[in-house]
Structure 1
């Protein structure tokens, strides 16, 4: 697990001017939140032993996880059901060390299932897990674009293994860029997050999931008021590819860009165009103003917009050249 997490929870205000009451949110949405633990003890390394077929067969089966001693699963993180047929979203770093791509999933009603990791995407820190069950409660999905700084949010998770703990706070910032390999418009909040909250849902006051708890900034490894969540629309973009292909693919379009200064309006100046960018007709000196209708005022905004497209998709670039504007279709390789 990485020392970065998120948590948030929300519910309607009990009365005007009073703090919000989260009891209904916890009661209504808690059943769709799960605890994720290690499925197996780390398999043993077989020593050199005298030849004994029965002993060798037993140890071989033990080392592959076929035979597992009784044990209490080690808590890894949290997750939440997005479909009634057992599909669960959690953090990629929560399941990255799972043995044989299996984890133990404990539901709110205390039932336990072996979950199979369908796939994960390290760039967005999203993983998809499947358990063999039907008729399960699932979360409702909200619109993270409607979130505003100062808005109440909350989370339900398993910090340090304490299952179904509810914590709440406010949105500190939206669209926050932090130094990671991916360009994700993180939701920053001051919701208390600790190891075990990772992969859990971030709720708005309507009880809708708007984010997936991913990381915290901390000098000690514990909560210090800086929690970050992956917006749910970004997470579901990864989930869609994981469902279809078991992995997430992203293309590179072959451009070097520079942010245009405020005095010169906004956009990204094309310094170099190669590969797919050149084939689409982009030229040095062009200014990219938007991707699929999303304004690209920053490099982060451009990279996030392009990252939503899968290989083979065509994105529409709004380009300004010599005072004229036109849409340029670009196929993602």
Structure 2
């Protein structure tokens, strides 16, 4: 077993506890505290007086304080501190406490929600600094150690191994997380993850839990990704990153079969933004195999590659289109703050039609709307009420009649891809055609 004592002793002075305070108005605490006919009148009157105090009644407005705790580490000796975005977001007051007992106020230099990285600054010099390593050489099974403040217990050390690399989490597409079995709990967020050489290889960020506490699965932001974000926050207080203007999804064995692929690989283009940089280069149903010379093994691999590409760079993209490999070129641009997805709307122009691939459908201005799922193969494919069908077997669908014409020509037993728009996001679903289900 490895010995961690020297590593902890050497690095603990540069690991800090971070506490924040946020003012919460009474209206935010009880937004529905207005009187109602069904509730107790005396209680309503008391709540009204409590939450609507102002100068006219002789009282003064007041706020409640919400406190939270996290961890961080010294990035540079002149007072820059790294932590998580979610630790300090919306904080009115931030304090940093060191192992020697000093507690200093901190200013937020900048924060990046997409990577969950934030940079703070305290008025101090000659601070102990951690050594930055690299996350790329990490191997599954390698020992790692975390130092942080779980539940407010300062400078607690926990150890484990790397469980996996390149993990993609929901709504966290820009981070290929390092998964570990290091015990991480509330309060560890923002603290460093070390290799056995005492180098920072990650920033502890999230846990997977059904209980709210540690259950053997935790996630850290790779330091290779975080350092670029930190340097941008340090120089300009914000992060600029490139984008392609597409939404991609993973490819499983069934989708691979429907796209005539020998095995699942690459990132499947499910939506192309109308005004995005890829509008003229990529099509729905393209499978991205490499981007700017870097292999795209799966959908989770693409966002970090794109995000680290220089804005304005012309890149070559290798794709699979209609079963054939080809290359396209495009120039990446800066990611807008809020790229808009295409929303589905339901304005029926005809009564629903039953019996088409196990669905009741109706024509709308946005496409073919799924009013009801009544059988197979739609049910097994995962189609849901409210989906808008845009493609079937690679052919564009604009009406129920058009969908029926495509469906009747499909071979029984064939697996085809169905492109649907669901709650503003597009995705492909594999559908296996069964006998008597095409009409």
TM beyond 0.5:
yes
8 Å CA contact retained: 2:242, 2:332: no
Shift of 1:326: 4.7
Residue 212 of structure 1 is matched in structure 2 by 203
1:48 is matched with which residue: 44, 54, 63? Answer: 54
Query: Is the 2:313–2:332 contact (alpha carbons within 8 Å) kept by the matching residues of 1?
Result: yes
Structure 1 position 33 matched with structure 2 position 34: no
Deviation at 1:110, TM superposition (A): 1.5
- Could you tell me how far 1:255 is from its partner in structure 2? 3.1
* Higher gyration radius (CA): 2
1:115 deviation in Å? 0.4
Q: Aligned partners of 2:193, 2:127: CA distance in 1, in Å?
A: 19
User: Does 2:142 correspond to 1:151?
Assistant: yes
Q: In the alignment, which residue of structure 1 is the partner of 2:393?
A: none
Unmatched runs of 5 consecutive residues or more in structure 1: 1-18, 66-72
1:75–1:160 Cα contact (<8 Å) kept: no
Does residue 1:302 correspond to 2:302, yes or no? yes
2:144 is the counterpart of 1:138? no
Q: Cα RMSD over matched residues?
A: 3.2
Q: TM-score, normalised by structure 2?
A: 0.60
Gaps of 5+ in 2: 27-50, 335-439
Give yes or no for contact 1:289–1:296 (8 Å, CA) kept in 2.
yes
Change in 2 beyond 3 A, CA 1:87/1:292: farther
What residue is the counterpart of 1:24 in the other structure?
Answer: 6
> What is the CA–CA distance in structure 2 between the aligned matches of 1:320 and 1:42, rounded to whole Å?
50
Within 5 Å, give how 1:279-294 maps onto structure 2.
279=280, 281-282=281-282, 287-294=287-294
- Counterpart pick for 1:96 among 85, 89, 92: 89
User: Aligned in 2, Cα 1:289/1:74: closer, same or farther, shift over 3 Å?
Assistant: same
Contact 1:309/1:332, CA 8 A, preserved across alignment: no
Corresponding residue to 1:117 among 105, 108, 116: 108
- The reply to whether residue 277 of structure 1 matches residue 278 of structure 2 is yes
Give distance in 1, aligned partners of 2:241 and 2:160. 34
Change (3 A) 1:313 1:201: farther
Q: Name the counterpart of 1:78.
A: 71
What is the alpha-carbon distance in structure 1 between the residues aligned to residue 315 and residue 146 of structure 2? 37
Indicate the SS of the match to 1:182.
strand
Q: Secondary structure, in 3 states, of the residue corresponding to 1:235?
A: helix
The C-alpha deviation readout for 1:171-225, integer Å capped at 9, x for no partner, is 1111122223434211111111111111100001110111111111112111111
Aligned equivalent of 1:221, options 200, 212, 215: 212
Q: Secondary structure at the match of 2:7?
A: helix
Q: What secondary structure is seen at the aligned counterpart in 2 of 1:24?
A: helix
2:150–2:185 CA contact under 8 A, matched in 1 = yes
Distance (Å, rounded) in 2 between the aligned partners of 1:200 and 1:242: 18
CA contact (8 A) 2:20 2:69 kept: yes
Higher RCO (Cα < 8 Å, 6 or more apart): 1
- Tell me by how many angstroms 1:48 deviates: 2.4
TM-score normalised to structure 1 length: 0.77
SS in 2 for 1:222: coil
Contact kept, 8 Å, 1:187 with 1:211, in 2: the verdict is: yes
When residues 293 and 87 of structure 1 are mapped into structure 2, their CA distance, relative to the original with a 3 A threshold, is farther
After superposition, the C-alpha distances for 1:290-323 in whole angstroms (9 at most, x for unaligned) are 223321121211122112246x342523325786
For the 8 Å contact 1:75–1:161, the answer to whether it is kept is no
Q: Determine the C-alpha separation between the residues in 2 that align with 1:269 and 1:196.
A: 37
CA contact (8 A) 1:289 1:317 kept: no
Task: Give the direction of change, closer, same or farther, for the CA distance of 1:158–1:295 in structure 2 (3 Å limit).
Answer: same
Work out the CA distance in 2 between the residues paired with 1:298 and 1:315: 22
Residues 40 and 253 from structure 1, CA distance in 2 versus in 1: closer, same or farther, beyond 3 angstroms? closer
* Residue 328 (structure 1) aligns with: 329
Bigger shift: residues 239-248 or 105-114: 239-248
